[in-house]
Structure 1
Amino acid sequence: MKLGGLMRRYSILGWLRVFLLLVLVLILALYLLLSSTRSVDWQNPVVVRIYPINADGDAVTQSYVEQLDDRSFDDIETFFAREGYRYRIGLSAPVSVDLAPSIDSQPPKTPTQASIVEALWWAIKMRFWVWWQDGWQANDADVRIFMSFYAPGNPQGQQHSLGLQKGNIGLVNGYADPEHQGINNFVAAHELLHTLGASDKYDMKTGKPLWPDGFADPVKEPLFPQQRAEIMGGRVQVTPGWSLLPPSLSHAIIGSATAIEIGWLGPVAIRSESDSQAAPQSAQSSAAE
């Protein structure tokens, strides 16, 4: 009896191991299914769909979300048109932004100091949430950005935003304030570039841009004050100890390191700053010189 019970016990443990292995394989398969990455060759515009979310349920936030339209995000298109012309990518409008209807659901909360298993589980929940919001219409857009709006003064509006290349998803936190929309769009463009393969170019501890790749004008003399931001550097370095967010994308550029990462620079030559002044009106730079 003891021997038979022992054998049955090991048999149950064996089947349990097989079951757990199958569950793990299923989870990984689901993760890969929901994490497809669209390749971008810049032969056609990248279609970006922005989904506004009233993240705090405030009446002020709701009113702001309801008055948003495609023009609220025009400076994102203008920014990429201007920089694309400077890098001679051959597209007059590299990025096309569409505004989707607002959604009520909140994305899964990003874990802090998560284990590998917790991070994987969050990634699966995140991608399933995105698929559920967008359904099969996801094929209509190359990149989806979910912009969570908060009433002015709500500290949650300063939460870290992120862009995921796997799945081509951006999560942006911002404020429901017309005067803040320029910064909202700056953050959205930053996260959009993450989905296209660009990396951060700032110090993760201090938030300061890293020289030289995180500076808009790394060979400027004197180096400070910088007057523009490299989009993935994230901030304008005014003095060695002081940096600030630019008020809009008109004070930002795509640096050469970022251009290489997204496929804009390599065998393609970069236009000089003086060349960009001769760009068509739709792509002219409004960046501070």
Structure 2
Amino acid sequence: MWKKVRILILLVILLIVAVNAYRDQNQNWSKPIFVQLHPINADGSNITAQYIQQLSHQDLAGVEQYLKLQASKYTSTPVHFYFKLGRELLEAPPKVPEQANVISIMLWSLKFRYYAWKHQRSLDLTPTVTLYLNFYDPAKFNVLKHSTALEKGRIGSVNLFASKKNSERNKVVLVHELLHAFGASDKYDLSSGQPIYPIGYADPNQLPLFPQAKAELMAGHIPTSHNESKMPESVDETLISDLTATEIGWKP
């Protein structure tokens, strides 16, 4: 009897996991997308603490409209994103292993999901995506390590600068990672960081090809020559390409 009960419980758990996995990989864009943002003082500095204290929804101005506009190019279904700035967390998410291999990435993924589960609260409701914003004082950190996000679980760890001066560029990084959570792939060369032609170019048919006017969002940089590029100053200097729109389900 108890053996059958245990088997039934296991089957229910597996069903829940399967349903959640299907949901994560098949977003219904007709429903509103709620994005929960948790700021984190990743470097423990007073400057970063002060920056987090004055964060508000205004610091995300333009992002929701940008995504709505980009989506409208590919689907007649109105797409609505709603960002909520949640409570500050005192513990940072686990960092991606520097010497990555299959096993270490799997372990990190499990740790990250456990971290997300551990920090979930009833007041967070049920967001579509949860992003953990790791802020660093730009006076101490000139370059930040790559951010990352998981499609299965819809969670992301985003490294940002604790500075008003960098707020517009922060939005570019944030939206880039957000789309990873919906299945978008990177479109830059992992070794050089340069956009891949043609999929990483906003306008691969432009003549002359350089300089490009905008960045493909998932490439992250505006190509200025075959071997050089620059980071966009804001999301207004980026666009979401046909391929990325297809990957996330905006375009059939």
Q: Which residue is equivalent to 1:109?
A: 95
Partners of 1:138 and 1:128 in 2: CA distance: 16
- CA shift, 1:156, in A, is 7.3
Equivalent AA in structure 1 for residue 247 of structure 2:
E
Contact persistence 1:58–1:151 (CA under 8 A): yes
**Which residue, 222, 228, 232 being the options, matches 2:218?**
232
SS of residue in 1 equivalent to 2:62: helix
User: Is 1:41 matched up with 2:28?
Assistant: yes
Indicate yes or no: 2:69 matched with 1:73: no
Contact kept in structure 1, 2:64 and 2:83, CA below 8 Å = yes
Deviates more, 1:249-258 or 1:138-147: 138-147
Give yes or no for contact 2:36–2:124 (8 Å, CA) kept in 1: no
- 1:215 is displaced (CA, Å) by 0.6
Q: Which residue of 2 aligns with 1:242?
A: 228
Superposed displacement of residue 154, structure 1: 2.6
Identity of aligned residues (%): 34
Structure 1: how far apart are the matches of 2:149 and 2:237?
21
4+ aligned runs moved over 6 Å, structure 1: none
Query: Is contact 1:144–1:169 with CA below 8 Å preserved after alignment?
Result: yes
Q: 1:78 to 1:234 in 2, by over 3 A?
A: same
1:115–1:220: structure 2 CA closer, same or farther, 3 Å change rule? closer
Where does residue 20 of structure 1 map in the other structure? none
Give 3-state SS (helix, strand or coil) of 1:149's partner.
strand
User: Which position in structure 1 is the counterpart of 2:3?
Assistant: none
SS of 2:185 mapped into structure 1 = coil
List per-residue Cα deviations over 1:114-170 (Å, max 9, x = no partner): 443333222111111111112455652000010100111333751110111011011
Partner of residue 37, structure 2: 50
| C-alpha deviation, 1:184, in angstroms | 1.0
Q: Which amino acid aligns with 1:42?
A: W
Please state if 1:262 is matched with 2:214: no
SS in 2 for 1:41: coil
Aligned counterparts of 1:89 and 1:181: Cα–Cα separation in 2? 31
| Residue 209 of structure 1: aligned partner | 195
Residue 171 of structure 1: aligned partner: 157
Cα distance in structure 1, aligned partners of 2:106 and 2:142: 24
TM-score (normalizing by structure 2): 0.87
**1:98 Cα deviation from its structure 2 partner:** 0.9
Match of 1:187 among 159, 164, 173: 173
* 2:132 equivalent among 143, 146, 154: 146
Q: CA shift at 1:75, angstroms?
A: 2.2
Question: Number of aligned pairs?
Answer: 235
* Structure with a larger share of its residues in helix: 1
Moved more, 192-201 or 147-156: 147-156
1:60 maps to which of 27, 47, 53: 47
Gaps of 5+ in 2: 1-9
Counterpart CA distance in 1 for 2:144 and 2:59 is 20
Q: Which residue type is aligned with residue 213 of structure 1?
A: I
TM-score by length of 1: 0.76
Q: In structure 1, list runs of 5 or more residues that go unmatched.
A: 1-24, 267-289
Q: Which amino acid aligns with 1:170?
A: G
CA deviation string 1:202-225 (max 9, x = no partner): 111111111111111111111101
Amino acid at match of 2:48: T
Report the Cα offset of residue 61 of structure 1: 0.6
Task: Deviation per CA, 1:23-81: give whole Å up to 9, x if none.
Answer: xx9xxx8xx69x84533121112111111111111111111101111111122212101
| Structure 1 vs Structure 2 CA RMSD | 2.0
Range moving further from structure 2, 217-226 or 117-126: 117-126
Q: Take 1:195 and 1:90, find their aligned partners in 2: how far apart are those partners? A: 20
Counterpart residue number, 1:223: 209
Task: Say whether the 8 Å CA contact 1:157–1:175 is kept in structure 2.
Answer: no
Q: 1:115 to 1:263 in 2, by over 3 A?
A: closer
Distance verdict in 2 for CA 1:219–1:114, change over 3 Å? closer
